[in-house]
Amino acid sequence: MPSFANPFAGNVERKMTKEDLIQAVRLNIAGELEAIYVYDAHVQATDDPVAKRVISDIRDEEKAHVGELMSLLMYLDPEEAKHFAEGEEEVKEMLKDMNIEAKPISNYRKSTVGSLIEEE
């Protein structure tokens, strides 16, 4: 959770090395994933339609942040990107073995309201 009591908690006292930056981006991803989890819990815990819509929108923006940070991480660490690709291929193979068609992320695009929709 936030540490508002210390306004300098996020300050880095020196320039980060590339390795430091990679670790920081991983931490940023973890923070975004935690935020998604919390927002989703709040959506599930209310019946108020306005609250559901607003919090869902915020949650979905955090999901976009994960995508941005993952792209940055893969740029910063191409070796890690290879591992991600290997994992993706493993899941595709499992789906293939189960006769389930794997849909690549490129099959999705942003709708006019900002959410991802599957293209046909």
Q: What are the phi and psi torsion angles at 5 (to 5°)?
A: -65, -30
pTM confidence score? 0.76
Q: Where are the domains of the chain?
A: 17-76, 79-120
Q: What are the phi and psi torsion angles at 3 (to 5°)?
A: -115, 70
pLDDT recorded at residue 8: 72
Q: How many CB atoms lie within 10 A of CB 69?
A: 20
Give pLDDT tens digits along the chain (120 positions): 566 667 777 787 889 999 999 999 999 999 999 999 999 999 999 999 999 999 999 999 999 999 999 999 999 999 999 999 999 899 999 999 999 988 776 666 654 444 444 555
Backbone CA torsion sign across 116, 76, 12, 3: positive
Look-up of token digits 């935690």: 34
